[in-house]
């Protein structure tokens, strides 16, 4: 840090002394500072020569001889040149005529400046390790570099003007004093004639004496900085050829610097290179997906909760294993030794395991993150995992959600029965808070134990004892709960009911108006945002442009009402509003709201004049405006008004840009009104928008020599003066700079340079926001879709794909775009916990469950898993969905449209399984018909086939929307059911299609139920389901019964859709067929959708 400060000082001081040394000779203090800095450099050389180690080929080198050789070879020469005071030595040796050469030797010290970039990088890495956000520091570092380069350019600009005329020739005219010759004193005319300084003196920007050193430096810097950031101020312009050439060189450099400003600030604003941008983009895709499908507010709240938690605790990462598994094995075990192995050691089942087994099992642990309210384990599932609770709280509850068996905290474990016994889970485990859980699967556990040939007898003995203890405890809890139902017992007053658990929806505890997505919260957020903006706009305007005290009382009353509103807001946000993360508000935002409420003390300014400054505390609310905007944006998204992350960023950038213009205009006028009241020439007194000379009544203000002050505003009202101030702010901040309003005094010039630098950053920020918006539109918007379609066209044209296939591909992509803007559900939702993914998929695809009768009796959790596994597909009219002999391992469920089925006449196209089942397949389609529509499914024969060869050809007769369920996904769902329930579930696909049962014999390769009446009625009655559906009869209805039912259907046909009418027509054609008594067809009379 000392060396960095020393190098920064010499980088500023040396060019300044070289340019202005004739006006400011080196003092003893400056000489001492230079001597101290040179001593620091020499001491640094000694340290690097003997003591400071370095890294070579990934190893830390500490040997002194190697350090010496390395320093001599790389850094010694340059450090020696920069550290030795060559200018002082040359001044003592060389004659005075070499003074310019001696002074230029000081520039050699700037060599050390190049070494400090590594120092800054090391400093930033240290701050990053301590958790600091480096984006603001990077911006400060870059802007400091821009100011330093502008300082060099300004010093050079002054030096060019100074060296034009010989300083020695004008030295004799200093005795003439301040006597004016033509436009300045004799000495100033001699020194600055035909330079940019002459023009500044003529304009009154500098005194006739030429000005002090500080005045000259400010004017030269006022040329340099606007030139570097490409702002056309027109205040300081070159005059001579040398000055013009010098200005041209720096203009060329300024283009590069301006591009660097835009690039760096734009990256910071749009976060194009940070992990937060990637995570925010993924969350925005999830919100876009939820917005497209109009999902409920509870799901929106859960996603918001989880995204905040995931970023605050895990920096948005859900794939911790990707980092660990990329390390060498020894480092993997070392990392897991400190993070996961403790859970294995604390579990009593693994007390008998060696250290190697513990390390191996810790490698098998998979991290999972669960949202508050997620069900981790479901009652009745066949467990395949054991869980270790790393962080968070869960509760173990009964199947009917009425009994809480236990509440578990950090370091606990549950689900251990799944590793030792193959039986359904005996309870449900729900997350009470956000939970970080480590999962050990039964497969990994058994593989590790078999690999090391471990005797499980001791482990099983200990497990049985703990398992029996848990059974006894749960039994006792149930007995106590039964006793507590009697209001006369003491237990009825002691037992805590499960309804108090956070596992259940407790939104009713708070008023509905206080819910995050309520109308009240939307209106309240809009009011907070609007009043915060009003406060940040009104207070500076009132300070700068207040005309009189006539309206002061009404203004104070308005401020009091606004402060009271925000005090109520502080109370509501702390105690009433249901926040996704209330602790986050208490940590980061509540302090700002609390301090800003002290602005209410401004009402005491009538009695205590010092109290009026409390009003400025309300300006702290400007930091709350982005959070208010985000809150309003989320509410609007929920109501169908989509505001993406990029649009939100662009709106906030535009809002703050306009507010900054307003603030700059107010400060610009405050300088004129309060700080320069006695100055004859200010920017206001020289600004004459209606013509006239300086100091005329047509100017913005007029100086009165009698009282020695200028008035505030010479125009009709303060609004006109505000417009002129805003004009200056807008043109300067937008890097346009018309030059019709320019600074006159030093303080105005300094403020203008601050505004120029701020304007360059703001314009770069706006470019970054626009870049983020265009990038989002290119990656997710219509442009991305067009580019994708164009790429497909180019590829298919290159490969000569037939036209009908191209049409089907384009049709499929257009369908996906209309459904979800091309977002893939599984890829979009993968950062969310699995239960939350299931809930979202269930909301999106629930209509599929209502259309397919097989899914209706399933438990809710099974329905959610099926919805998550379903993949949407679409086919245009007259397209082949699949043909005989194609390979397919998916079951297709028809959601809309009509398809026809054609059976093969040549069985040679089928595999062995298909040939053996050909008769059954033919009998099935004779029973259900060869025209299928919504509610029917296709391709279920893959359940009995390893090869997946299709046994029929399916062609769409209309536009058909399908959902595909792969065989692997179905097996994954069934593994939670157990073998018996899995068999029943899969047999339902083979025995039933839509509302028609078509097969009652034993299925090939399966053990089917007897065909007794009672068992037929219970064929689809799952004992583990929420509901059951039965059917009556096993014989095909006669033609008379069919005609009667057809006539009933025709009477109801007015209320049917065209699809139902089509089915009735198809049924009428079937009546003309012969009655085949060998077939057993069940007709569902209660469903108008029956074939």
SS3 953: strand
pLDDT value at residue 894: 93
| Separation of alpha carbons 815 and 826, rounded Å | 17
Which two structure tokens, joined as six digits, stand for 173?
Answer: 């005219």
pLDDT value at residue 174: 55
| Between 815 and 1048, the higher pLDDT residue | 815
In whole angstroms, how far apart are CA 94 and each of 90, 91, 105, 900, 1030?
A: 6, 6, 13, 105, 113
Sheet containing 413-414: order of strands: 366-370, 435-441, 385-391, 413-414
pLDDT confidence bin for 172, thresholds 50/70/90: low
Closest CA to 329 of 351, 368, 356: 356
Q: What digits encode the pLDDT tens for the residues 421-472?
A: 888 888 899 999 899 999 999 888 888 878 877 767 777 777 788 778 877 8
pLDDT value at residue 22: 55
pLDDT value at residue 1035: 40
pLDDT value at residue 691: 74
Give 687: exposed, middle or buried? Use CB within 10 Å, 0-12, 13-18, 19+.
Answer: buried
SS3 132: coil
pLDDT value at residue 55: 78
Answer yes or no: is pLDDT of 992 > 90.
Answer: no
pLDDT value at residue 157: 92
pLDDT confidence bin for 1085, thresholds 50/70/90: very low
Closest CA to 116 of 25, 42, 8, 31: 8
Please give the full DSSP string across 767-796, using - where no structure is assigned: HHHHHHHHHHHHHHSHHHHHHHHHHHHHHH
> Hey, which residues does 435 pair with through a beta bridge?
370
pLDDT value at residue 967: 92
pLDDT confidence bin for 564, thresholds 50/70/90: very high
Q: Characterize the bridge pairing of strands 953-956 and 59-61.
A: unpaired
| Between 1014 and 366, the higher pLDDT residue | 366
> What is the CB neighbour count within 10 angstroms for residue 73?
9
Answer yes or no: is pLDDT of 810 > 80.
Answer: yes
Answer yes or no: is pLDDT of 420 > 90.
Answer: no
* Cβ within 8 Å of residue 669, ≥6 positions away: 544, 545, 684, 721, 722, 725
First to last CA, the chain: 84
Answer yes or no: is pLDDT of 800 > 60.
Answer: yes
Answer yes or no: is pLDDT of 268 > 80.
Answer: no
pLDDT value at residue 990: 86
Minimum mean pLDDT among 7-21, 373-387, 576-590: which range?
576-590
| Between 79 and 377, the higher pLDDT residue | 377
pLDDT value at residue 966: 93
| Between 551 and 726, the higher pLDDT residue | 726
Answer yes or no: is pLDDT of 825 > 90.
Answer: no
Q: What digits encode the pLDDT tens for the residues 103-140?
A: 777 788 888 887 777 778 888 888 877 767 777 888 88
Give 140: exposed, middle or buried? Use CB within 10 Å, 0-12, 13-18, 19+.
Answer: exposed
| Separation of alpha carbons 951 and 889, rounded Å | 12
pLDDT value at residue 301: 83
| Separation of alpha carbons 982 and 973, rounded Å | 9
Mean pLDDT of 589-613: 73
Give 116: exposed, middle or buried? Use CB within 10 Å, 0-12, 13-18, 19+.
Answer: middle
Which two structure tokens, joined as six digits, stand for 884?
Answer: 């005989």
What 3 state SS string does 7-23 have? HHHHHHHHHHHHHHCCC
pLDDT value at residue 1072: 43
pLDDT value at residue 723: 92
pLDDT value at residue 536: 93
pLDDT confidence bin for 1082, thresholds 50/70/90: very low
Minimum mean pLDDT among 173-182, 713-722, 1054-1063: which range?
1054-1063
pLDDT value at residue 430: 92
Answer yes or no: is pLDDT of 204 > 90.
Answer: no
Answer yes or no: is pLDDT of 870 > 90.
Answer: yes
| Separation of alpha carbons 390 and 376, rounded Å | 14
Answer yes or no: is pLDDT of 23 > 50.
Answer: no
| Between 1012 and 169, the higher pLDDT residue | 169
Beta strands in 411-521 (DSSP E): 413-414, 428-431, 435-441
Answer yes or no: is pLDDT of 143 > 90.
Answer: no
Q: What digits encode the pLDDT tens for the residues 1010-1066?
A: 333 333 333 333 333 333 333 333 344 444 444 444 444 344 333 333 444 344 444
pLDDT confidence bin for 764, thresholds 50/70/90: confident
pLDDT value at residue 1037: 44
% of the chain exceeding 70 in pLDDT: 81
- The CA-CA-CA angle for residues 118, 120, 123, to 5°, reads 110
% of the chain exceeding 90 in pLDDT: 18
Q: Characterize the bridge pairing of strands 890-896 and 413-414.
A: unpaired
| Separation of alpha carbons 1060 and 241, rounded Å | 90
Q: Characterize the bridge pairing of strands 435-441 and 404-408.
A: unpaired
| Separation of alpha carbons 1082 and 851, rounded Å | 19
Closest CA to 726 of 659, 681, 655, 671: 659
In whole angstroms, how far apart are CA 934 and each of 850, 882, 963, 1020?
A: 10, 18, 11, 20
293 φ, ψ to 5°?
Answer: -100, 5
pLDDT value at residue 1061: 39
In whole angstroms, how far apart are CA 838 and each of 830, 843, 943?
A: 11, 9, 24
Which two structure tokens, joined as six digits, stand for 120?
Answer: 């800054």
Helices 76-83 and 64-74 pack at an angle, to 10 degrees, of: 70
| Between 687 and 1020, the higher pLDDT residue | 687
pLDDT confidence bin for 493, thresholds 50/70/90: low
Minimum mean pLDDT among 381-385, 481-485, 989-993: which range?
481-485
Q: What digits encode the pLDDT tens for the residues 523-559?
A: 999 999 999 999 999 999 988 988 765 567 778 888 8
> Hey, which residues does 394 pair with through a beta bridge?
408, 431
pLDDT confidence bin for 417, thresholds 50/70/90: confident
Beta strands in 543-677 (DSSP E): none
pLDDT value at residue 490: 63
Which two structure tokens, joined as six digits, stand for 691?
Answer: 């013509």
Answer yes or no: is pLDDT of 1070 > 50.
Answer: no
pLDDT confidence bin for 587, thresholds 50/70/90: low
Answer yes or no: is pLDDT of 354 > 90.
Answer: no
SS3 239: coil
Q: What digits encode the pLDDT tens for the residues 919-932?
A: 888 888 888 888 99
pLDDT confidence bin for 839, thresholds 50/70/90: very high
Which stretch of DSSP H or E encloses residue 277? helix 275-292
């Amino acid at each position: 840090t000392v060396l960095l400060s020393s190098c920064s000082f010499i980088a500023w001081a040396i060019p300044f002394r070289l340019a202005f040394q004739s006006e400011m000779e080196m003092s003893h203090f400056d000489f001492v500072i230079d001597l101290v800095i040179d001593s620091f450099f020499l001491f640094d050389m000694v340290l690097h020569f003997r003591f400071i180690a370095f890294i070579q080929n990934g190893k830390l080198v500490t040997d002194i001889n190697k350090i010496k050789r390395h320093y001599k070879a790389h850094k010694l020469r340059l450090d020696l040149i920069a550290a030795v005071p060559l200018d002082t030595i040359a001044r003592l040796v060389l004659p005075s005529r070499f003074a310019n050469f001696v002074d230029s030797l000081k520039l050699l010290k700037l060599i050390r400046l190049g070494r400090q970039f590594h120092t800054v990088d090391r400093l930033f890495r240290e701050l990053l390790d301590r958790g600091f956000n480096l984006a603001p520091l990077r911006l400060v570092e870059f802007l400091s570099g821009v100011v330093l380069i502008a300082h060099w350019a300004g010093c050079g600009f002054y030096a060019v003007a100074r060296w034009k005329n010989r300083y020695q020739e004008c030295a004799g005219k200093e005795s003439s004093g301040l006597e004016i010759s033509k436009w300045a004193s004799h000495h100033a005319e001699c020194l600055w004639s035909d330079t940019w300084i002459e023009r500044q003196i003529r304009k009154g920007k500098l005194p006739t004496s030429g000005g002090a050193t500080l005045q000259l430096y400010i004017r030269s810097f006022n040329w340099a900085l606007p030139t570097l950031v490409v702002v056309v101020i027109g205040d300081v312009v070159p005059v001579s050829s040398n000055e013009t050439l010098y200005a041209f060189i720096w203009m060329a450099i300024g283009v590069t610097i301006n591009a660097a400003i835009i690039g760096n600030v734009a990256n910071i604003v749009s976060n194009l290179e940070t992990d937060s941008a990637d995570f925010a983009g993924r969350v925005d895709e999830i919100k876009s997906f939820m917005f497209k499908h109009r999902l409920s507010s509870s799901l929106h709240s859960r996603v918001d909760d989880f995204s905040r938690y995931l970023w605050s605790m895990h920096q948005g990462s859900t794939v911790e294993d990707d980092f660990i598994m990329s390390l060498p094995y020894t480092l993997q075990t070392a990392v897991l030794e400190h993070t996961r192995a403790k859970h294995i050691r604390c579990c009593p089942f693994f007390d008998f395991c060696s250290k190697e087994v513990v390390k191996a099992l810790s490698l098998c642990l998979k991290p999972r993150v669960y949202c508050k309210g997620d069900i981790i384990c479901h009652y009745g599932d066949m467990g395949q995992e054991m869980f270790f609770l790393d962080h968070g709280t869960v509760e173990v509850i009964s199947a009917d959600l009425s009994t809480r068996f236990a509440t578990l905290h950090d370091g606990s474990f549950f689900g251990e029965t799944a590793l030792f016994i193959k039986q359904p889970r005996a309870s449900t485990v729900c997350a009470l808070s956000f939970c970080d859980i480590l999962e050990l699967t039964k497969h990994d556990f058994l593989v590790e134990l078999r690999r090391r040939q471990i005797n499980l007898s001791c482990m099983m003995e200990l497990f049985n004892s703990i398992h029996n203890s848990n059974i006894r405890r749960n039994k006792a809890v149930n007995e106590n709960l039964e006793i507590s139902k009697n209001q006369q017992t003491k237990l009825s007053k002691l037992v805590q009911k499960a309804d108090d658990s956070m596992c259940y929806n407790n939104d009713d505890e708070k008023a509905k108006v206080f819910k995050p997505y309520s109308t009240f919260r939307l209106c309240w957020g809009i009011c907070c945002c609007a009043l915060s903006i009003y406060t940040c706009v009104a207070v500076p305007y009132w300070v700068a442009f207040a005309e009189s005290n006539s309206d002061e009382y009404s203004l104070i009353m308005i401020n009091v009402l606004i402060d009271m509103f925000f005090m109520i807001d502080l109370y509501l946000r702390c105690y009433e509003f249901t926040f996704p993360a209330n602790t986050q508000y208490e940590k980061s935002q509540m302090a700002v709201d609390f301090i800003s409420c002290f602005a209410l003390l401004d009402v005491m300014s009538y009695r205590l004049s010092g109290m009026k400054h409390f009003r400025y505390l309300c300006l702290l609310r400007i930091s709350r405006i982005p959070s208010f905007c985000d809150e309003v944006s989320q509410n609007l998204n929920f109501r169908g008004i989509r505001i993406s992350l990029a649009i939100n960023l662009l709106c906030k950038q535009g809002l703050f840009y306009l507010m900054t213009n307003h603030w700059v205009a107010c400060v610009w006028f405050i300088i004129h009104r309060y700080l320069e009241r006695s100055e004859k020439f200010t920017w206001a007194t020289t600004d004459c928008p209606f013509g006239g000379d300086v100091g005329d009544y047509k100017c913005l203000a007029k100086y009165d020599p009698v009282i020695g002050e200028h008035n505030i505003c010479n125009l009709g009202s303060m609004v006109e003066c505000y417009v002129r101030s805003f004009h200056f702010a807008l043109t300067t901040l937008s890097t346009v700079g018309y030059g019709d309003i320019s600074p006159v005094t030093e303080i105005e010039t300094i403020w203008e340079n601050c505004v120029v630098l701020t304007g360059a950053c703001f314009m770069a920020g706006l470019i970054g926001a626009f870049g983020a918006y265009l990038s989002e539109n290119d990656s997710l918007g219509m442009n991305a879709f067009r580019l994708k379609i164009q790429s497909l066209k180019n590829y298919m044209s290159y490969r000569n794909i037939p036209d009908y296939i191209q049409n089907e591909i384009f049709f499929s992509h257009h369908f996906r775009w209309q459904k979800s803007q091309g977002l893939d559900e599984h890829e979009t939702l993968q950062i969310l916990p699995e239960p939350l993914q299931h809930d979202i998929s269930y909301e999106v695809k629930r209509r599929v469950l209502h259309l397919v009768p097989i899914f209706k009796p399933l438990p809710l959790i099974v329905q959610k898993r099926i919805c998550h596994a379903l993949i949407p597909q679409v086919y245009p009219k007259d397209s082949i969905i699949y043909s005989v002999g194609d390979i397919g391992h998916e079951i297709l469920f028809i959601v809309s449209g009509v398809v026809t089925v054609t059976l093969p006449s040549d069985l040679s196209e089928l595999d062995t399984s298909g040939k053996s089942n050909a008769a059954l397949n033919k009998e099935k389609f004779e029973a259900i018909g060869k025209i299928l529509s919504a509610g029917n499914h296709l391709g279920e024969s893959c359940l009995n086939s390893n090869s997946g060869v299709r046994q029929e050809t399916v062609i769409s007769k209309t536009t058909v929307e399908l959902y595909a369920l792969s065989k692997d996904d179905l097996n994954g769902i069934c593994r939670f059911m157990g073998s018996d329930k899995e068999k029943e579930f899969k047999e339902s696909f083979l025995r039933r299609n839509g509302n028609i049962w078509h097969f009652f014999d034993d299925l090939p390769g399966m053990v089917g139920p007897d065909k007794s009446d009672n068992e037929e009625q219970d064929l689809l009655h799952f004992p583990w389901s929420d509901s059951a559906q039965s059917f009556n009869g096993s014989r095909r209805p006669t033609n008379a019964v069919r005609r009667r039912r057809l006539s009933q259907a025709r009477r109801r046909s007015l209320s049917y859709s065209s699809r139902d009418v089509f089915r009735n027509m198809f049924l009428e054609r079937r009546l003309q067929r012969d009655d085949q008594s060998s077939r057993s067809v069940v007709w569902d009379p209660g469903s108008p959708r029956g074939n």
